[in-house]
Amino acid sequence: MDIRFAIGKQETKSLDTEGLRSHFLVSDLFQTDKLSLVYSHHDRMIIGGVQPVKKVVALSNPKELRADYFLERRELGIINIGGKGEVVADGKKYPLSKLECLYLGKGVQKVSFASADKKSPAKFYLLSAPAHHVYPTTKYTKEKAAPVKLGDPSTSNCRTVYKYIHQEGIKSCQLVMGLTVLEPGSVWNSVPPHTHTRRMEVYLYFDLDPAHRLFHFMGEPQETRHMVMANDEAVISPPWSMHFGCGTSHYAFVWGMAGENLDYTDMDPAPIPTLK
């Protein structure tokens, strides 16, 4: 498991391109028949990816957790961004099609991942946060997530938002998770941007054409930085940093948060004219 220690806004000001990427960019999440995990000390979020092709892949228990099993003191959100697959949790099977979500609560001991078709493998994206209470295992389809269409063609941000793990959806201790799908011709996300110092956030960008790239903006609103990102890459956004992006083509992204509260609307706006 890759460990990323927390970094502040003053230190970030002095980073060059490679420095930014080494602290905040998460690549190579979906490797064939392998579990990939990154531990961020920002709210102790774990970011993971699994692409089972030829075999079933188990959720391991990294030694850094000092736990008897991965979810002994944690909860886990799973969203499939690939072909049809299946998650088995303590012997119970949960089929997951593309854009479907599964929440596993504290205390689930054995978890494994499999694809229905190795020619079109599943891609399970994982976010895990510390948990203090047991909430039940819950699956949501994208339809159950009550999708909401937002945006306008004039600002190139027509999109559909799916909320899965949040106060009015799947119950959790501190994990909030969902995704946004942009329509063809739309490229901007999360504009106008915002910060929320009460929780960190992670974006996973997916369904971006391999020939295209996405410019992810971060940093303080008056001290912005950017990273050029490819398909299936994630970015860690510290609580003090804003987060928005623009692609050279349309795409989708999973957003996930952990921290002080579960209020999806808890944010401090950074008006566009104030950005520098």
Give the domains, in start order, of the chain with CATH numbers: 11-132+139-274 (2.60.120.10)
Whether the per-residue pLDDT at 87 is higher than 90: the answer is yes
Whether the per-residue pLDDT at 176 is higher than 90: the answer is yes
CA dist 197 and 183 (Å) reads: 30
* Residue whose entry in the numeric block shows the structure tokens 């909401």: 148
Task: Write down the pLDDT at residue 19.
Answer: 97
Whether the per-residue pLDDT at 262 is higher than 90: the answer is no
Task: Write down the pLDDT at residue 179.
Answer: 97
Whether the per-residue pLDDT at 55 is higher than 90: the answer is yes
Task: Write down the pLDDT at residue 232.
Answer: 98
Task: Write down the pLDDT at residue 264.
Answer: 82
CA atoms within 13 A on the CB side of 149: 5
pTM, rounded to two decimals: 0.97
Mean pLDDT across 84-112 = 98
What percent of the chain is helix, strand and coil (3-state, nearest 5)?
A: 10, 45, 50
CA dist 203 and 26 (Å) reads: 10
189: which residues sit within 8 A by CB, 6+ positions away? 157, 159, 180, 182, 244, 245, 246, 253
